[in-house]
Chains A and B, each alone.
Chain A
């Protein structure tokens, strides 16, 4: 009887052990092994990947009359397998510089490439020290990122970066302060951009009715003409307090990206005058990608035009074009701001 009972147990073990072994084997998680390995991260591989990604997805080759193939011909021979990361980075940065686009960068752990010629090649037209010392003073209001002061019955608002979030409460407070005044001056000089959502929120304060201001489209495939249909862009007035009186928007060449978009929105309003220098451009929304070596790159993947069909990649023109006068600047006077104030003075 003991022999028979042992036989039964052995038989069950013979059946069940394979089952348990299968379960044990399955504990070895094999998820990643069923995917192809990551591509080789060598200088040639990273160069080829970046060139081809931009070739397929960058949105402004035709508009800028850029021959990306010739850039490949010029830069590919400079890639060596024994290049250091620094050398590879400098080469890729130089290649991307050819696109002359502030929305094109590559970021490594040790550096970030950029092309800032779109504002460095033009007068600065902005002196923050003068603004804070002589116009905002020491009792200006800090309404979130909107630094504001009433000057000669005009509300002056300086917004340094669209990356700084504007809340509904901030806009309520600003519109409350603007009520009954002669006008509003919004200063976005040196505002390098940020969130288009903030641009939309601020623009929605300055009209009582919806308006269209431009169109955009996005790359939908690798071909040079692979774009989505043009999508009309519009702003709807905010539900809270608004200001529909005269507005002057101050720009310079460093008013880029979201600032450029804001300038485009405001230019379409009949009660808005743009003054200073043209905005810096950056009409394409940047998309992001990653190289086989983990470096992050970004590039313009969309196009934006105004309602007349003109691209905004190189900026939105102002209505009153003027530069900062060095003589005035030496006296602590911002003649661009003064010109804007003069529009409201009797």
Chain B
């Protein structure tokens, strides 16, 4: 764990050094590397009626591709958290996500205006209840789509160029894969007659607004260097709820430090 944190620090420092380089022309592609901490609360009723909360490490990379009338944003992130309940029982939680946004705007910059589009979220989490024996693991996967919106406000503060960004998304349609009623395995895989693909088909559930919710918001404040690179402080909040087979709810807030490198 410490070796991974050290490697991440070296990468961030390298990108900070890169960000100080002067470049020319208007940036169209931006790489963002972030690391920070998360605060997570979740409850999986198939495992326990109690809420598990805790802090952990978060990080990831994202790539922003600015086109004439569209901005694409691809984000890869991970979360690790050690959680516990009020009675001292613990659960290790890890999560991985690949998100992408497509935001449409009129030709030119999307500064100081709300732009809208759509988003896609692919999320996998895995947790182990340390106090259980058999069937102690759980994992959930979802692929969802929904509308997204963003706002950017550039301003000067004491002679420095800064920006405030807000990114919002709500997932409305997709599918999920959850453990079965007691077993860690999704239900389709409990039937030995099912092949791998058929097991998947029989396991997936429809992610629909009356059965599942996923929404996120991400405000960010950025300080830009003269080169066009920058450094920002982000907060990201995500809420996930899936009602079947038994309710699962997860609420996560993350604070990041992000290094922005224009490519």
Contact = CB atoms under 8 A, between A and B. Distances in A.
B182 A294 contact: no
A326 interface: no
Nearest to A296: B131
Contacts of B129: 288
A38 B51 contact: yes
B53 A290 contact: no
B134 interface: yes
A226 B181 CA distance: 10
A97 B2 CA distance: 47
Interface in B172-209: 180-183, 187, 190-193
7 cross-chain pairs, A with B, having the tightest CB-CB distances, nearest first: A294-B87, A228-B190, A288-B132, A32-B41, A290-B48, A31-B251, A29-B39
B135 A231 contact: no
Query: Which of A29, A34, A219, A290 has its CB near the most chain B CB atoms (within 10 A)?
Result: A29
Interface in B124-143: 129, 131-136
Given A26-B219, A31-B39, A294-B87, A220 B180 contact: yes
A57 B134 CA distance: 14
Nearest to A292: B49
A229 B251 contact: no
A35 B49 contact: no
Contacts of B89: 290, 294, 296
Contact of A15 (B41, B50, B155, B219): B155
A285 interface: yes
A17 B237 CA distance: 22
A219 B181 CA distance: 7
Nearest to B131: A296
Interface string B16-59: 00000000000000000000000111110001111101000000
Contacts of B97: none
B191 A31 contact: no
A258 to B, nearest CB: 11
Contact of B50 (A221, A228, A287, A292): A292
Interface string A273-298: 00000000000011111111110101
Q: How many A residues touch the partner, as a band?
A: 35 or more
Contacts of A228: 180, 183, 187, 190-191
Contacts of A36: 43, 249
Given A35-B249, A290-B49, A298-B133, A218 B88 contact: no
Interface in B149-187: 153, 155-157, 164, 180-183, 187
Nearest to B53: A32
Given A38-B50, A38-B51, A298-B133, A231 B190 contact: yes
Nearest to B153: A19
A16 interface: yes
B94 interface: no
A23 interface: yes
B122 interface: no
A22 interface: yes
Contact of B221 (A19, A29, A31, A57): A19
